[in-house]
Amino acid sequence: MLRRIVCIFLPLIIVALNALAQERPFILQPYEQFTTDIQENIYCWNNDRLDLYSPDGKLRLHYSNPKMGEISKVDAAIPTKVMIYYEEANSIILLNNKLAEIGNPINLFDEGIRNPVLACMFGINRIACYDEANQKIYLIDLDLKKTDVVNCQFEEDFHPQHIIADQNFESLILCDSATGLAIFDRLATYQKWIPVQGIQHMQLQNNNLYFLKDNNLYSNNLNTLWSPTMIIGLDQMVSFSKVLSNWYVLLSSGTIHKISIRR
């Protein structure tokens, strides 16, 4: 009986949470993209400006470097070493937790990497870049001041739009929404292929892949068969970020909403 009651009311609870999130945006200022760190700070950006919000939604700091062009991606996996990728300049800048620059910009042309690329943090002091033109993954080790190159040859017609690493930097995933996922280990050695279509955005934690597809958020443990479980359904969802039991979602309006789901 209890199980039946839970099955009946859990979808209603989720719908209620979604409605609450739609009515009360966590961050009203419209943004094109955002991400979070493990301390629940929120990083939002438009054009060449990056804004940092505290976990309670208050604007704390901002950063801008117009000469580098528009910001293409921000990776805040390491709060004290936030990565910003500029496609126009084919360069990466690292920021500390005060949004002050760490060292000089990393010019990817100097590493033999053509643009555009997909980039993410893949270690405390390592950056992974995928160059589709050459089908290569470049692992830039900032400590050793060296770059390792891994050749990738895909049988599929593969044109990824996203690259992510898990929170422990043990896995790397490339995603092409039209064909599927390519999964690599910490050395960027190819592991397996998952032929799933329609993924718009994704995040990997503890081998659980969370992803956005058709306005719904799903999860699937990569150690099991591909059988996703739906978590949240929310109209006009563009992207998301999960921290503990909290979900931050960006809607097409540009506003960011916070949803807490405790099970």
Q: What residues have CB less than 8 Å from 75, skipping those under 6 apart?
A: 35, 82, 83, 85, 119, 120, 121
Backbone angles phi, psi at 69, to 5 degrees: 95, -165
Q: What is the pLDDT of residues 15-52, one digit of tens each?
A: 444 444 444 689 999 999 999 999 999 999 999 999 99
Q: b/e per residue, 149-160, with b = 16+ CB within 10 A?
A: ebebebeeebeb
Under 8 Å between Cβ of 37 and 76: yes
pLDDT confidence of residue 235: 87
Blockwise average pLDDT, block size 10, the chain, 263 residues: 44 45 76 97 98 96 97 97 97 97 95 92 96 94 93 89 95 97 96 95 95 95 94 92 94 94 67
For the chain, the maximum distance between any two Cα atoms, rounded to a whole number of angstroms, is 65
Alpha-carbon span 23 to 202, nearest angstrom = 25
Strand, helix or coil for residue 219: strand
Place of tokens 């599929």: 156
- Beta-sheet pairing, 126-131 with 49-53: unpaired
Alpha-carbon span 111 to 140, nearest angstrom = 8
Q: b/e per residue, 62-80, with b = 16+ CB within 10 A?
A: ebebeebeebbbbbbbbbe
Alpha-carbon span 151 to 134, nearest angstrom = 8
Q: What is the pLDDT of residues 69-87, one digit of tens each?
A: 999 999 999 999 999 999 9
User: H/E/C letters for each residue in 32-62?
Assistant: CEEEECCCCCEEEEECCEEEEECCCCCEEEE
Under 8 Å between Cβ of 49 and 40: no
pLDDT confidence of residue 83: 98
pTM of structure: 0.89
The one-letter code for the residue type at 211 is F
Where do the domains of the chain lie? 2-260
pLDDT confidence of residue 86: 97
Considering the four listed CATH numbers 2.120.10.30, 3.30.230.10, 3.40.50.20, 3.30.750.210, the one that applies to the domain covering 2-260 is 2.120.10.30
pLDDT confidence of residue 7: 46
pLDDT confidence of residue 24: 66
